[in-house]
Amino acid sequence: MIHGHLQLSLTNFTLDSTPFAFASEGVTVLFGRSGSGKSTLLRAMSGLDKRTHGQLNFQDEVWQTGKKYLPVERRDIGFVFQSAALLPHKNVRGNLDYARRRVPRDRQHGPGFEEIIDRVGIADLLERPTGNLSGGERQRVAIARALLMRPRLLMMDEPLSALDWQAKSELLGLIESVVAEYQIPTLYITHAPVEVERLADRVVFMADGGITSIETLAEATSRVDSPLFTEEGPVSVLHGTIGAIEPDGLVPFRSKQADAFTFWVSAHSDAIRSDANPHGLRSKTTRLRVLARDVAIARQCQEGISMLNQLACTITSIAIDTTGPRAGRAVVFLELADGQPLLAELSYRSVEQLGLVNGQRVFALVKTAALIDP
């Protein structure tokens, strides 16, 4: 559990987190526009800014009370900065050793050095000076360094924002697998909904220097006005497992519950392609991202239609926008056979014509879906 209430006044910005509490396990994403206070809150929580005051508890430890604080050196935080922040006067190995040499005796456990550099994919970079690493390589070293300091908590401040598309997708997979495998509680800052959908267990929404709400990912994606939704409209994230590629190039995505549903996804999607990346790690669970506007609803199972994916589900609620850019549109909240939510965006007229009501059993017709995890 992480709970507290922190304040931090800077020259032209004031953070007042409001009281908060959330589980420390898994990945907690701090999400908000730039200027909403995500980075300031993370720095306040890390103890990097001495001007912080308020209250902060991590698990059974008090990290901050009033102006008194546990120094950041003793918080066991593996911090990955946006700029990687490698020590420029040391090579890659020097950076990793800097972390390793300062691990206290009672925390010298966990995966070995060789395993971590293999997993992070920097075994070939060890003797390189940090100056001529690519952006992606720098962040890999930063992640390895953060893991090697044996953290109880990982903090990542927009680690991907400075990277190109290819490196972003590779590192996202790496971060997700590393966090899942080593079971390290993680606080992760981003303003990219895709990263939230891929990594988050819960989302801390921020605006104007404070926390506005803390929600699970499922909660965050099952309301029409979720800040995660951008111009693409509402999005559903389905959790499942991926099967072998069929000869025709399609890949099955199945519910973790046996026979609840099977999705057919084109193997040409970006996520599948990134599988070719030697460092990409295949985890058992994967996520499927479905835009609500790509989901249609039929009262019966359709025959003679090109869409492969027809999933039986139940309507849980219907939300209608009467104002704003989506006026006249309705979002229908569906529940799949395994209980996962799926959102469909229709015109209000369609809802009327089909006579859709809560509890009704219908079929969701999905045009396209993207795997967001290899």
Partner 1 sequence: MQIFGSPLDVDPILLTLEVASISTVILLLIGTPIAWWLAHMRSRVRIFFEALVSLPLVLPPTVLGFYLIIALNPNGEITQFLRHFGFEGQLTFNKTGLIIGSVIYSLPFTVQPIMAAFEALPGQVVDAARTLRASFFDRFFTVIVPLARQGFIVGAVLTFAHTVGEFGVVLMVGGNIEGQTRTVSIAIFDHVESYEYAAAHSLSLLMLLFSMLVLMLVYALNRSLQIRQD
Query: Taking CB under 8 A as the rule, does residue 87 contact partner 1?
Result: yes
Beta bridge partners of 204: 30, 214
Residue number, 147 or 296, with CB nearest to partner 1: 147
- Does 98 bind partner 1 (CB under 8 A)? Our answer is yes
Structure-block tokens of residue 360: 């009704």
- When asked if residue 145 is in the footprint of partner 1 (CB under 8 A), the reply is yes
Sole residue written with tokens 């599948």: 272
Does residue 104 interact with partner 1 by CB under 8 A? Answer: yes
Interface with partner 1, residue 138, by CB under 8 A: no
Among 86, 175, 189, 297, binds partner 1 (CB under 8 A): 86
Q: Which residue of 33, 67, 89, 268 would you call a contact of partner 1, by CB under 8 A?
A: 89
The piece of 99-107, 181-189, 279-287, 303-311 that touches partner 1 (CB under 8 A) is 99-107
Place of tokens 């901050």: 64
Between 152 and 223, name the residue whose CB sits nearer to partner 1.
152
By CB under 8 A, tell whether 99 contacts partner 1.
yes
Q: Please identify which residue in 33, 67, 102, 299 interacts with partner 1, judged by CB under 8 A.
A: 102
Say how far apart CA 192 and CA 147 lie, in whole Å. Answer: 24
Whole-angstrom CA distances from 182 to 78, 115, 294, 335 are: 13, 12, 36, 32
Name the residue nearer to partner 1 (CB basis): 85 or 354: 85
Residue 162 is a binding residue for partner 1 (CB under 8 A): no
Task: In whole angstroms, give the CA distance from residue 291 to residue 180.
Answer: 26
Q: Which of 54, 34, 120, 124 is nearest to 84 (CA)?
A: 120
- What CA–CA distance (Å, rounded) separates 159 from 210? 22
How many angstroms separate the Cα of 129 from the Cα of each of 95, 123, 126, 162?
A: 10, 14, 8, 20
Q: Is 48 in the site for partner 1 (CB under 8 A)?
A: yes
Measured from the CB atom, is 2 or 362 closer to partner 1? 2
Window of 69-77, 185-193, 229-237, 272-280 that interacts with partner 1 by CB under 8 A: 69-77
With CB under 8 A as the contact rule, the residue among 22, 58, 63, 79 that binds partner 1 is 79
Given candidates 73, 106, 231, 259, which one binds partner 1 under the rule CB under 8 A? Answer: 73
Q: How far apart are CA 331 and CA 23, in angstroms?
A: 30
Rounded CA-CA distance 186/27 in Å is 5
Show the DSSP H helices in 28-78 as ranges.
Answer: 38-46
Q: Which of residues 28-47 bind partner 1 (CB under 8 A)?
A: 46
| CB distance 191 to 32 below 8 Å | yes
Q: Tell whether residue 81 is a contact of partner 1 (CB under 8 A).
A: yes
Residue placing its CB nearer to partner 1 in the complex, 152 or 254 = 152
Please identify which residue in 9, 83, 283, 314 interacts with partner 1, judged by CB under 8 A.
83
Q: Contacts with partner 1: how many residues (CB under 8 A)?
A: 28
Amino acid at 280: G
Position 182 contacts partner 1 (CB under 8 A): no
Burial class (CB in 10 A: 0-12, 13-18, 19+), 109: exposed
The nearer residue to partner 1, 140 or 202, going by C-beta atoms, is: 140
Among 94-102, 202-210, 223-231, 337-345, the segment contacting partner 1 (CB under 8 A): 94-102
> Nearest 5 degrees, angle CA 10-CA 14-CA 20?
125
Distances in whole angstroms, Cα of residue 219 to Cα of each of 19, 311, 345: 20, 21, 17
Residues contributing to the site for partner 1 (CB under 8 A) = 46, 48, 72-79, 81-83, 85-89, 98-99, 102-104, 131, 145-146, 149, 155
